[in-house]
């Protein structure tokens, strides 16, 4: 079983221009891949792209100077030293607040993701007084990007769109998948048998999240590199959805 | 900033023998690295090793036939169709139960890790009727392993010991770091400034967890490959502890 396992390569794709609405992100990524690896994209490659560059290409940016905060946003912002306009955008992006404590807003987004500030982020937003929101349908964004990449390269590819989330109980953020196309985000090993004949019970691995985390390591600091190429990971083909990574509320003992 | 970023290689280290108490794990890993990469270990390499192989080398295995379950373990096991002896081991490994619901035990271990079943695992335990427990001090395990690897290879190395944890809100497991030596597990970007001059607020990345997740992708299915070598990641040197990845209970709004 263990013989001839391939090694993985994780190649950063730096030097993309500042992405603006309407930019052809697929073309920019193909050019970057051509610079980064000899021969450019190859069959089986996975492109991991931070949501921020996707969101900016799709125009998911809000100029805070246009935002009128609600009274609730004002009170909360004042209490915790936040920008009331940014709090207002967070509330608009939220379907539900999971926790609102000690100046931290853990929100459930319209997609079902549970994360700080509903994914609204001010860093690397591309302009001052501006925040970036999550794309409305990150799976659809991944699908469109994948189709454009396949159309341009003729290769069999998968796309993962990543964001940086915190988690309970553990310090530090990790990158996770919020959209994917062309691969199954979960690798299900249940029912398989280990070397001692013990049937594995709960082994469903969130490989799309692990791919997002692996890519983060290659992207380096400060969000300056918005994409990485992963080569050598033998993923399960399929039109998976990153929504599969969201635990259904009725199954979630921590919601 | 983005220029000349190195690419990462993640190389599986297969074909280790079944590890038993007293086995020289460092020697086995060096041999495996010698087979997997030309020239063997190099300066800057990170060895990610699953806790299970470390635990087995340290004798952290329990023969369930020697375990007398408590009445509490019996009642719980009967209700949820579990092995009462295994439930008993989980309770002995726990400092506290965080949630006990729907047949799932989310435990706080003596180390402070919050995970299912206090890290007690029956799969790939090396023998029937046997479970593997977490090493008593995974940082110390990592330190000893790193010292032996440096002694044997003369290279500057880091070691991460990984386990497979679930998480609230998201489906699927990912590998995280439960022990480390030779690198800082958190990469702190706070106070740095992005391309628009915006000061990053909460960017502390849990790179040791991301390294563990990246390694899992190369280890493949069913736990047959217990280690991987990561080359090209420019980590911050330091005698970090994986306990830094544990959020202090007083800071944790989900504890």
**What pLDDT score was predicted for residue A3?**
45
- Name the least confident of A228-232, A251-255, B66-70, B219-223: B219-223
Q: At A101, which CATH number?
A: 3.90.1660.10
Average pLDDT over residues A5-22: 87
**What pLDDT score was predicted for residue A240?**
87
C-beta of residue B211 within 8 angstroms of C-beta of residue B152: no
Indicate if B155 and B238 belong to the same structural domain. Answer: yes
Helix, coil or strand: residue B157: coil
Indicate if A92 and A205 belong to the same structural domain. Answer: no
The better pLDDT of the pair B153, B4 is held by: B153
* Structural domain contains residue B212: yes
Q: Does A63 touch chain B (CB under 8 A)?
A: no
Which positions 174-233 of B are in contact with A (Cβ < 8 Å)? 174-176, 185-187, 189, 192, 194-198, 200-207, 209-211, 213-214, 216-218, 220-225, 233
Write out pLDDT tens, residues A111-129: 999 999 999 998 777 778 9
Indicate if A21 and A73 belong to the same structural domain. Answer: no
Torsion over CA of A132, A142, A111 and A120, rounded to 10 degrees? -10
∠ Cα B33 B37 B42 (to 5°)? 75
Which positions 15-44 of B are in contact with A (Cβ < 8 Å)? 15, 18, 36
**What pLDDT score was predicted for residue B147?**
97
Nearest CB neighbour to A10, from listed B7, B164, B254 = B7
Asked if residue A198 has pLDDT above 70, the reply is no
Cα-Cα-Cα-Cα dihedral sign, residues B127, B26, B212, A49: negative
CB contact (8 A) between residue B125 and residue A198: yes
Single out the residue in A131, A151, A175 at which a domain terminates: A131
Average pLDDT over residues B230-252: 90
Single out the residue in A112, A131, A150 at which a domain terminates: A131
Indicate if A67 and A108 belong to the same structural domain. Answer: yes
Cα(B140)–Cα(B146) distance, integer angstroms = 10
Average pLDDT over residues B230-241: 91
Asked if residue B1 has pLDDT above 60, the reply is no
Write out pLDDT tens, residues B175-190: 999 999 999 999 987 7
Indicate if B14 and B84 belong to the same structural domain. Answer: no
Q: Does B164 touch chain A (CB under 8 A)?
A: yes
Domain residues for the domain of B78 are 62-131
Among chain A residues, the shortest Cα distance to B226 is held by A2
Q: Does A150 touch chain B (CB under 8 A)?
A: no
Q: At B190, which CATH number?
A: 3.30.1330.100
C-beta of residue B162 within 8 angstroms of C-beta of residue B49: yes
Indicate if A144 and A234 belong to the same structural domain. Answer: yes
Indicate if B49 and B147 belong to the same structural domain. Answer: yes
* Structural domain contains residue A178: yes
* Structural domain contains residue A1: no
Indicate if A164 and A78 belong to the same structural domain. Answer: no
Q: How far is CA A245 from CA A113, A141, A180, B35, B193, in A?
A: 9, 17, 10, 36, 32
- Mean pLDDT estimate for chain B: 90
Indicate if A103 and A185 belong to the same structural domain. Answer: no
Chain B residue numbers with beta carbons less than 8 Å from the beta carbon of A99 are 253-254
Nearest CB neighbour to A253, from listed B15, B99, B176 = B99
DSSP assignment string, A102-154: TTEEEEEETTS-EEEGGG-B-TT-SSTTEEE---S-HHHHHHHHHHHHHHHH-
Domains: count for chain A? 2
Indicate if A125 and A139 belong to the same structural domain. Answer: no
Cα(B60)–Cα(B137) distance, integer angstroms = 11
**What pLDDT score was predicted for residue B191?**
73
Residue B114 — pLDDT band, cuts 50, 70, 90?
Answer: very high
Q: How far is CA A67 from CA A86, A131, A214, B20, in A?
A: 8, 11, 36, 63
Indicate if B97 and B199 belong to the same structural domain. Answer: no
CB contact (8 A) between residue B195 and residue A124: yes
Asked if residue A191 has pLDDT above 80, the reply is no
Chain B residue numbers with beta carbons less than 8 Å from the beta carbon of A160 are none
Helix, coil or strand: residue B164: strand
* Structural domain contains residue B239: yes
Write out pLDDT tens, residues B125-141: 777 899 999 999 999 99
Indicate if B234 and B179 belong to the same structural domain. Answer: yes
**What pLDDT score was predicted for residue A200?**
65
Asked if residue A1 has pLDDT above 50, the reply is no
Average pLDDT over residues B97-113: 92
The better pLDDT of the pair A200, A217 is held by: A217
Q: Provide the greatest CA pair distance for chain B.
A: 63
User: What percent of chain B stands above pLDDT 70?
Assistant: 94
**What pLDDT score was predicted for residue A243?**
93
Write out pLDDT tens, residues B201-218: 668 999 999 999 999 999
Q: What is the DSSP letter of B199?
A: B
- Name the least confident of A222-236, B87-101, B207-221: A222-236
């Amino acid at each position: 079983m263990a013989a001839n396992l391939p090694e993985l390569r994780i190649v950063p794709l730096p030097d993309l221009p500042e992405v603006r609405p309407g930019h052809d992100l697929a073309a920019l990524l193909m050019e970057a891949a051509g610079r980064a690896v000899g021969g450019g994209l190859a069959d089986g490659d996975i492109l991991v792209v931070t949501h921020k560059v996707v969101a900016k290409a799709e125009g998911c940016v809000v100029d805070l100077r246009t935002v009128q905060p609600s009274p609730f946003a004002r009170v909360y912002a004042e209490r915790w030293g936040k920008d009331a306009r940014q709090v207002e955008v967070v509330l608009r992006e939220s379907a539900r607040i999971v926790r609102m404590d000690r100046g931290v807003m853990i929100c459930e987004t319209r997609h079902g993701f549970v994360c700080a500030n509903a994914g609204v982020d001010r860093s690397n937003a591309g302009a001052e007084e501006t925040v970036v929101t999550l794309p409305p349908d990150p799976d659809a964004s991944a699908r469109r990007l994948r189709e454009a990449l396949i159309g341009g390269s003729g290769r069999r590819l998968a796309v993962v769109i990543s964001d940086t989330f915190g988690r309970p109980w553990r310090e530090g953020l990790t990158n996770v998948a919020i959209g994917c196309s062309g691969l199954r985000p979960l690798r299900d090993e249940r029912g398989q048998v280990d070397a001692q004949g013990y049937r594995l019970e709960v082994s469903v691995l969130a490989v799309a999240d692990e791919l997002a985390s692996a890519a983060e390591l290659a992207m380096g600091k400060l969000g300056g590199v918005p994409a990485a190429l992963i080569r050598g990971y033998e993923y399960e083909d399929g039109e998976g959805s990153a929504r599969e990574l969201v635990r259904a509320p009725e199954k979630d003992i921590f919601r």
